[in-house]
Amino acid sequence: DTEVTQTPKHLVMGMTNKKSLKCEQHMGHRAMYWYKQKAKKPPELMFVYSYEKLSINESVPSRFSPECPNSSLLNLHLHALQPEDSALYLCASSPGVAGTYGTYEQYFGPGTRLTVT
Amino acid sequence: AQTVTQSQPEMSVQEAETVTLSCTYDTSESDYYLFWYKQPPSRQMILVIRQEAYKQQNATENRFSVNFQKAAKSFSLKISDSQLGDAAMYFCAYSGGSNYKLTFGKGTLLTVNP
C-alpha cells in the first residue's frame, strides 16, 4: 500500500480564519513532508519531519504551523493567511529522510486545494 | 547547487506512439538518485520511475523506461505505446548526497491525442 491520504480535498477560508490540513500514511514511513504547489509549477518544499521531529523549515512564514502527533499523522495549521497563500498543498512521505546517496523516493497525497479569500 | 532542466514545456504524442521527455541536471556529486514523477489533471503526484546513479542499467517500469547518460548528465523518459491516461505534467527530480531535498525541473506537459 503506497497511499498517502489528505483531508479536506478543498478548503476556502478567510484571512482571519484558523483551519487545519491533515495528512495520513500507514506505510511505516519515518519522514513526512509538506509542499506548496502553484499551478503548472513544481512543488516547493515547506517542512520536513523525521521520526516525528521537525528537521527542516524552509523559512516558511509563521502563519503556517506544522504538527506531527504521531508517526502516521501530519497536520498543517493555518492562521491569518494571505490571498497569495492560495495553492495546492501536498503532503508526502518516504521511508527515511536521506540515505547514502540522497533522499528516498517520496510518495505524495492527492493534495488540498486551498483558496484564501 | 544542483539544478534540473526540462527543456520541453509541452509535448504531444498520438495514442499508441512513443514519446521521449528530456531532462538534464547539474551536480558535483558522484552518486545520487533521479526520479520521474507524473501529475495528471486530478493532481496526485505519482512516482513513475527511479534510477540510482551507481547502477549502469537503465530503469524500466512496464511502458516507461529511462535513458540515463551519467557522463552527459542526461535522464530522459521514454513512454511506449502511449495511452490517454498518460496525459499529465511530468516532473524530473534529483536528490544527491545527504541532501533531504528533491530538486524538481519545471515540468513537461504531455498531451496524448486519440
pLDDT of residue B96: 84
Hey, what's the torsion of the CAs at B79, B82, B85, B88, to 10 degrees? 50
pLDDT digits (tens, 9 = 90+) for A35-93: 999 998 999 999 999 899 998 889 999 999 999 999 899 999 999 999 999 999 999 99
Lookup result for grid cell 496524448: B112
- The share of chain B scoring above pLDDT 70, in percent, equals 99
Q: What is the mean pLDDT of residues A112-116?
A: 96
Which residues of chain A neighbour B100 with C-beta distances below 8 Å?
31, 48, 50, 55-56, 97-98, 103
Q: B30 at the A interface (CB within 8 A)? A: no
pLDDT of residue B1: 72
CB contact under 8 A, A108 and B89: no
Q: B33 at the A interface (CB within 8 A)? A: yes
Strands A18-25 and A4-7, bridge-based pairing: antiparallel
Grouping H, G, I as helix, E, B as strand and the rest as coil, residue B52 is strand
State the Cα–Cα distance between residues A56 and A102, nearest whole angstrom: 15
Higher pLDDT, B101 or B92: B92
pLDDT for B57 beyond 70: yes
Mean pLDDT, all residues of chain B: 93
- Out of A100, A103, A113, the one facing B101 most closely (by C-beta) is A103
pLDDT of residue B65: 97
Grouping H, G, I as helix, E, B as strand and the rest as coil, residue B69 is strand
Q: B32 at the A interface (CB within 8 A)? A: yes
pLDDT tier at A100 (50, 70, 90 boundaries)? low
pLDDT for B112 beyond 90: yes
pLDDT of residue A32: 94
Task: State the DSSP string of A47-115.
Answer: EEEETTEEEEE-S--TTEEEEEEETTEEEEEEES--GGG-EEEEEEEES-S--SSSPPP-EE---EEEE
pLDDT of residue A27: 92
Phi and psi for A84 in degrees, rounded to 5?
-70, -10
State the Cα–Cα distance between residues B46 and B43, nearest whole angstrom: 9
pLDDT for A103 beyond 80: no
Residue B15 forms beta bridges with which residues?
none
CB contact under 8 A, A105 and B107: no
**CA atoms within a 13 Å half-sphere pointing along the CA-CB vector of A68:** 22
Stretch among A17-21, A101-105, B5-9, B41-45 having the lowest mean pLDDT: A101-105
Q: How many CB pairs under 8 A join A and B?
A: 73
pLDDT of residue B2: 83
CB contact under 8 A, A43 and B46: no
- Out of A42, A101, A107, the one facing B104 most closely (by C-beta) is A42
pLDDT digits (tens, 9 = 90+) for A8-18: 999 999 988 89
pLDDT of residue A97: 77
Which residues of chain A neighbour B47 with C-beta distances below 8 Å?
105-107
State the Cα–Cα distance between residues B25 and B10, nearest whole angstrom: 19
pLDDT of residue B41: 86
pLDDT of residue A2: 62
Chain B residue with CA closest to A88: the answer is B43
Q: How many residues in chain B?
A: 114
Q: What is the mean pLDDT of residues B60-71?
A: 95
